[in-house]
Amino acid sequence: MEDEDGRIFTGCNVESASYGLTLCAERVAMFKAISEGAKRIRRIAVVADTDALTPPCGACRQILWEFCGDVELVLSDLTGAQETFTLSQIFPRPFDASFL
Contacts of residue 88, Cβ cutoff 8 Å, sequence gap at least 6: 70, 94
CA 89, 90, 93, 94 torsion-angle sign:
negative
Q: 57 phi and psi, to 5 degrees?
A: -70, 175
Q: Exposed/middle/buried for 94, CB within 10 Å: 0-12, 13-18, 19+? A: middle
- Indicate which residue of 2, 4, 15, 26 is catalytic: 26
83 is catalytic: no
For residue 14, which amino acid is it?
A: V
Point out the residues that are catalytic: 26
